[in-house]
Chains A and B, each alone.
Chain A
Amino acid sequence: MIPLSYFLGLSVLMFSAGLFGVLTQRNAVRILVSVEIMLNAANVAMASFNGVFGLEHVEGWSFVIIIIAVAAAEAAIGMAIFLSVFRNHNEIIVSDLFSLGETEEAY
C-alpha cells in the first residue's frame, strides 16, 4: 500500500520543477518541455486519487485521457509555431523575440 501523500508529494515536486522551468528557461522548446512536466504532475495526482476511491470509480482516468489529448494538441501547435518563428527570425529564444524591433504586423 502506497500512501496517497507520497503520490501527491511527488506530484507537487514535479509541478514546482515544471513551473520553475517555465519561469527560468528562455529557449522555447525547453519551455514546452517544462509545460509537459507540469501536465504530467497533474496526471499523477489524478491517477493516484482515482486509486484511492476504489475500483468502481474511473473518473480520474477520464480526466487524464483528456489532459493527454489536450497536451498532444498543444505540443503539435506549439512546435509548429516555434518552427514558423524560427524560420522567419532564425531565433527561438523567447526573450530575444520581442527585442528584434519587429512590429505586430510582422507576425
Chain B
Amino acid sequence: MEFSLTLIPFTLLAVFILAAIYKSLTAEKTMQSVYWLIFMLVAVGFIFLLANSEILFAYQLMVYSGGIAVLMLFAGLLTEQDELFIDSSIVGFIKTSKTQVLIFIFFAIDVLALLLSSINGSAYEETVLANSEYTYTDSAHQIKLFASYLWNGFAEVIILLGFLLLTAILGSVKLAIRETDLEELSDEYLARIATTSEDISSLPGMEDEVEV
C-alpha cells in the first residue's frame, strides 16, 4: 500500500478519538466526561472531513458539538452526582462486573471477525479518496447532488424527521416542566400573589418594607 500524507492526520485523529473516549468513560466527574465527549465529537467531524464529507463535518459541528453537547453539559450541571463506579484496579473491576466484560469481549471478537472477513472480501478492497485527489469542483458537485437527493428521494423522511424533532421538543418540555412552574404561569396564581402583597402592605409598619 502506498504511503499518503493524509494518513498522518487520520492516525493522529484516531488516536485522539480513542484517548478521548477512554477519558470520557473513566473521568471521575460527569462534567469531565462530557467535556471529553465534546472533544471526541469535534475529532469525529475532522474524520468526516478526511473522508471527503464536508457537509457532514458542518452538521457534526453544528448539531453534535453545538447542540447535543451543550444539552449534556446542562444535564451534568443539574444532576450533580459524581460517583465513578469502575474499580481502580483491573482485578477488582473484573470481579465486580464479570458479565459485562464477557459480553463486551464476545461482541468485540464477533465484530472484529466480521470486519476482517469483510475486508478480505473482494467488495471492499477499494480505498477512500483522501483530500489529495479531491478538488473543489468535485466537492461542490457532490454537495449539490446531495441536496437534490435529500429533497427528492428523502423528502418524506425529512418531513417525518421534522415531526419527530417537534415531538421530542414538546415531550422534553412536558417532562422537564414542573407543575409548580405551570401554576406560577397561571392568572390565578398571579392574582393571588398580587392580593397577598396588597394584604402584606396593608399591615401596620410594613408599608416601607414592601415598597423597598
Contacts and interface: CB of A to CB of B under 8 A. Distances in A.
Contacts of B60: 43, 68
B128 A72 contact: no
Interface stretch (B165-173, B188-196, B198-206): B165-173
Secondary structure at the B interface, as helix, strand, loop or mixed, is helix
Secondary structure at the A interface, as helix, strand, loop or mixed, is helix
A25 B18 contact: no
A20 B111 CA distance: 14
Interface residues of A, number: 72
B17 A14 contact: yes
A47 to B, nearest CB: 5
Given A14-B17, A20-B25, A33-B37, A92 B178 contact: no
Interface string B124-157: 1011111011000010011001100110011001
Interface in A67-97: 68-77, 79-84, 86-87, 91-93
Contacts of B71: 75-76, 79
Contacts of A7: 47, 51, 128
